[in-house]
Amino acid sequence: MTLQPEDFWSFSEWLMRPQSFLESALLQGIVLVVLAILLGLLLGYLVSAVRYGPSEGFYAVARAVRDLVRSDLPGTSARRIFALARLAYKEAIRRRVLVVVGLFVVGLLFAGWYLDPRSSNPAELYISFVLTATNFLILFLALFISTFSLPADIKSRTIYTIVTKPVRATEIVLGRMIGFVAVGTVMLVPMAIASYFFVTRGLRHDHEVVDIKDLGDGRFTGKLSYDQFHEHTFTMDAPAAPGEPALGTTDSVRGHRHVVRKMNDQFVVGEPVGALRARIPSYGTLAFTDRSGNIDTKGIDVGNEKERGGYGNAGVSRLVGVTGESNRLDYGYMEGGTLGSAIYTFYNVTPSRFPQEDGIPMEMALRAFRTIKGDIVSGLNGSITMRNPDDPKIESNPIPFVVQEYDVAEETLPRTIEGNDGNAVRVLDLFEDLVSDDGRLEVVIRCVDRQQYLGTTVSSVYLRPAESSFAWNLAKSYISIWLQMVMVIAFGVMFSTFLSGPVALVATFACVLLGFMAEQVYDMRYHLDRGEDMGGGPIESMVRMVRQDAMTTELDVDAVAGKIIKTIDAAIVYSLDAIATSLPNLPKMVGTAEYAASGYDIFNSLLARHAVATFGYVIIAFLIGYFFLKTREIAA
């Protein structure tokens, strides 16, 4: 996924935006709620005016507002809501919706035949499959159960039996929402548990030691058997103390390793480790130097990246522990064999936060851009240099590395390393010499090979102070799916209060579809604002397809027709942008699946943002649904 600057906001920045309160989520949410209420009142008045006339329609809506404030909200009973929710739950269960869980389990049974075990990252493949399958099944289920229930009661007139009881419209709407959410939750929990065991068992495999070479002094090297379409090599050091087993680690293949133990005369290969991870990255700020060593805010543009956002790792989109500077999304390439470099400044680098004895874990996901063919088998060579931000003359010797394209390379910044303290060459201590007094550390990355380029973004290089549990990370992905389900159910119940079942289904599906297309709509509006609408908007694109014109050429129509087409396209794009901005941005919520699949922790602030947004949309759907249901009660 493409990173955007808002991906780097914390929850407080997203909610309040101290730099620009007009763009804060809190203010935008308040405006959206007010506009939704006004729109609901307007539509309610139009419906009432058609039924009763303009004046009586106004009084009908006024009475509905009065009842909401004076009696319905204050008199809403939790006991009656629970009773109505239980009825909605039983009604959905009678429709045999639980068969969806069975279909999901059957899908998992057959999925193992089609998921390619020879994939370069099987863990990502398995996790993406289970989360995507769960997401679509749950959302389609939420669409059907939330949109057909209330219209069916209205059509069969059973709703009138309910409204004649001491039951309020607020309780009917909330009862339906809570009941259907309970149904979805009951189905989502076993699907999450089945997904966890499917992923863990699907990645589990065994190897045997097939080739051993004794290096003397208790050290060994060897190879593991070819299983699951791959093999490993390993090295084993002598035991740390007499009586303890000798331990060795294999090389990393397809995202995992194995621990090899020597027990007496037997070599025992452990289960795969490192495939199912939940990294907690700590990002820094990024600056570049050009080929002459001068500081620049952006690197070299090689012409194959979008200016807005560049590229990034799926699921890598937050800053941890960064203070004092704007979290802008710098990106670019550095030229090899020159003074060009990417300078990362990390904050809060302290021994308590990084207690590892061998050094600080650092991971990199860099892109390579080759201007000459050269050796395409070997990766590009780079170097890592640590230096003190307060005194750049204090720096370590370069640490060489080979770029692992399309993969995350694991490096370690050693606790002690030879370098220059500004006066002499000696062994430097990482925390005492290279980290500043306020906990900052600069890491300079360069490309060694001439006429080659390395590409990087803010999120491409990070320190890893800790790691979370994969099971909990997967659970957070399912919490995100649950929030999406709640939102869809709220919209479905809202539309079902004034539309028939099929029409409510289509209307809810349209909202979901526009929510999933939000990022594409934002991109269309962005490029339209900049005059970069290659191929034009919807109407111009349709004209080009009919005429079979190329996207890069000018539209071959007269000036008046071209102006009309572009005006209509602009109106369509800006209207879609307004609608997409008003609707929930579902791609951001779906993006949590990419976090889990890529092995990154889904941070709590992101879930908090999704939960607050879901709560806001539920309130809007509840109020609109209440007013329309109240109008139907008056009609009855």
Q: 624 pLDDT exceeds 90?
A: no
Which amino acid belongs to residue 542?
Answer: M
Cα dihedral 180, 182, 184, 188, rounded to 10, equals 180
418 compared with 93, residue with greater pLDDT = 418
Per-residue pLDDT tens over the stretch 259-318: 988 877 788 888 888 888 888 888 888 999 988 888 877 778 776 544 333 333 333 333
User: Which residue pairs, CB below 8 angstroms and at least 24 apart, start in 520-527?
Assistant: 521/573, 521/576, 521/577, 521/580, 522/577, 522/580, 524/573, 524/576, 524/577, 525/573, 525/574, 525/576, 525/577, 526/308
Cβ–Cβ < 8 Å for 296, 288: yes
Which amino acid belongs to residue 164?
Answer: T
- The residue extents of the domains of the chain are 5-202+469-635, 209-269, 279-467
Per-residue pLDDT tens over the stretch 155-200: 777 766 666 667 888 898 999 999 999 999 999 999 999 999 999 9
Q: Which two tokens stand for residue 236?
A: 């084993």
Per-residue pLDDT tens over the stretch 373-430: 666 667 789 999 999 999 989 999 999 999 887 778 889 999 999 999 888 999 999 9
Strand ranges in 415-460 using DSSP code E only, listed in sequence order = 416-421, 425-429, 441-447, 452-457
High-pLDDT (> 70) share of the chain, %:
88
Per-residue pLDDT tens over the stretch 579-609: 877 777 776 666 678 888 888 888 888 888 8
Per-residue pLDDT tens over the stretch 140-154: 889 988 998 888 877
Q: How many CB atoms lie within 10 A of CB 624?
A: 24
> What is the rounded CA–CA span in Å between residue 197 and residue 514?
34
Residue 82: in which H helix or E strand, if any? helix 78-94
Q: Which SS3 state, helix, strand or coil, does residue 530 take?
A: coil
pLDDT value for 44: 74
The hierarchical CATH code for the domain 279-467 is 2.60.120
pLDDT value for 317: 30
Q: 463 pLDDT exceeds 50?
A: yes
Per-residue pLDDT tens over the stretch 4-57: 556 666 777 778 776 666 667 788 788 878 887 787 778 778 877 887 788 887
Q: How many CB atoms lie within 10 A of CB 628?
A: 23
Using a 10 angstrom Cβ sphere, with 0-12 exposed, 13-18 middle and 19 or more buried, the burial of residue 223 is middle
DSSP one-letter string for 467-489: E--HHHHHHHHHHHHHHHHHHHH
Residue 296's alpha-carbon distances to 116, 283, 288, 343, 623, in angstroms, are 44, 19, 5, 10, 51
Lowest mean pLDDT among 38-52, 72-86, 491-505: 38-52
Backbone angles phi, psi at 494, to 5 degrees: -60, -50
Per-residue pLDDT tens over the stretch 224-237: 998 888 889 988 88
pLDDT value for 19: 64
High-pLDDT (> 90) share of the chain, %:
23
Rounded mean pLDDT of the chain? 82
